[in-house]
Amino acid sequence: MDEEGIGAEIFALVADIYPICRSITGNGVRETLRRLGRHIPLTVHEVPTGTQVFDWTIPREWNIRDAYIADDSGRHVVDFRDHTLHVVNYSTPVHVRMPLAQLRQHIFTLPDQPDLIPYRTSYYEERWGFCMAHNALMALPDGIYEARIDATLQDGSLTYGEFLHPGDSDEEFLFSAHVCHPSLANDNCAGLALLTRLAARLAPLRTRYSYRFLFAPGTIGAITWLARNELVASRIRHGLVLSCVGDSGGPSYKRSRQGDAAIDRAMAHLLHHAPGTPTVTDFVPYGYDERQFCSPGFNLPVGLFQRSRFGSFPEYHTSGDNLSFVRPEHLASSYRTITAAIDIIENDQRLRNVLPKCEPQLGRRGLYAAIGGSQAGPSRSMAMLWTLNFADGHHSLLDIAERAGLPFSEIAEAASILEIHGLLVPASG
């Protein structure tokens, strides 16, 4: 499918799951996984409340039916049905009447962004609260208000989903996106939708590696998966966490804790040749679930891919992160970057030039003619020369691309042509 088509496809799935109120547990996660499961055969896991997962414990399950603040006339001045961010995520149930001055202690706003609703959570501290635009709060007259949060917080389970595409090897490439955020389009409906479409595209293909797609609540979900899958984790050779992949910024990549893993080199190479304002940063133990996969007891080669980095754009964790903030063309660009990373991981190899003493006569083999007559001709010729010179059994194709300053795709294409003509063979050992 062309780039415009895949971008529209991903955006449609973003729009489908955007309205759902998700949290680290509950029916919002289940409904989201159900919708993703229309496109790929997801395996859904339920882990009971109270289960110990390393130093953490699965919390009680939270579900919300309704919430509002009403004035004396019964008019809803805040309504959860208008936007899922209006309620502090994981709020305990409450039904009270109180003066506005007292109610303000339970209302969160953004005075510096007065027209936006903030996203707030209370996962591990029982409290209740509402979020609203600061200008809307300032417009409320004094008086008695009714505040109601119709929710439950009780024993249940934590839910996560995964899909495994088996490859020729049981060594795995892990993709992960957090499924806990409510109506935030870029963070992280975009990541969920992109990985779902990617998994659907990979499903019928034969691949070198196996590909695991994990859709789990942030932090506690990744910790839970790792606690239940230590043997599987030992097979992970490459990994990417995705978030904020639908906006116009970046792209950006945060290296794994290892710093020089194959995925780190592949992503750095791709971003070096990417348009826009690409950035590559070193690992820090803060961010998304890459910090769990990169904890010292696992130290997996898992990096973080985003467009704009989390916390760096004004819409982050606000109602400004809506469907107008993400665009199909940016989703398609992110998709193209991820598929290019897969191409590198799948196709990187060490080859050996069978005629290493001086250059082989390419013209006699028709290789110059095969690539002549186009603007890309000189670049492809150089790709062949670089590949022949460094295909010594010690340098991989990615090594050669980095040394040549050329995109991996050009070096891989040159290598394929040279193999067909018997000038390169796989390196032994």
Q: Which fold has domain 350-426?
A: Arc Repressor Mutant, subunit A (1.10.10)
Which positions make up the binding site for Zn(2+)? 181, 187, 317
Q: pLDDT of 323-337, one tens digit each?
A: 999 999 999 999 999
Per the prediction, the chain carries an average pLDDT of 95
DSSP letters for 64-123: EEEEEEE-TT--EEEETTT-GGGB-BTPPPEEEEEEHHHHGGGEE--TTSTTS-B--B-S
Domain boundaries, the chain: 3-59+157-346, 62-154, 350-426
Select 3-59+157-346's CATH number: 1.10.3810.10, 3.40.630.10, 3.30.2320.80, 3.40.50.10470. 3.40.630.10
Binding residues: 181, 187, 317
Q: Which of 56-60, 362-366, 404-408 has the lowest mean pLDDT?
A: 362-366
The angle that helices 397-404 and 262-272 make with each other, rounded to 10 degrees, is: 30
Q: What is the pLDDT of residue 167?
A: 98
Q: Which two tokens stand for residue 401?
A: 């691309």
Query: For residue 371, what pLDDT is reported?
Result: 46
Nearest to 343 by CA among 397, 402, 383: 397
What pLDDT shows up at residue 429?
58
At 122-146, the pLDDT tens digits run 998 899 999 999 999 999 999 999 9
396: phi then psi, degrees, rounded to nearest 5:
-80, 170
* Percent of all residues in the chain with a pLDDT value above 70, rounded to a whole number: 97
CATH number (3.40.50.300, 3.40.50.800, 3.50.30.90, 1.10.3720.10) of 62-154 reads 3.50.30.90
The answer to whether the beta carbons of residues 162 and 221 sit under 8 Å apart is no
Q: How confident is the model at residue 1 (pLDDT cuts 50, 70, 90)?
A: low
pLDDT digits 0-9 by tens, 217-240 = 999 999 999 999 999 999 999 999
Band (pLDDT 50/70/90 cuts) for residue 365 is confident
What's residue 43's pLDDT? Answer: 98
How many of the other CB atoms lie within 10 Å of CB of 247?
A: 23
Global pTM reads: 0.95
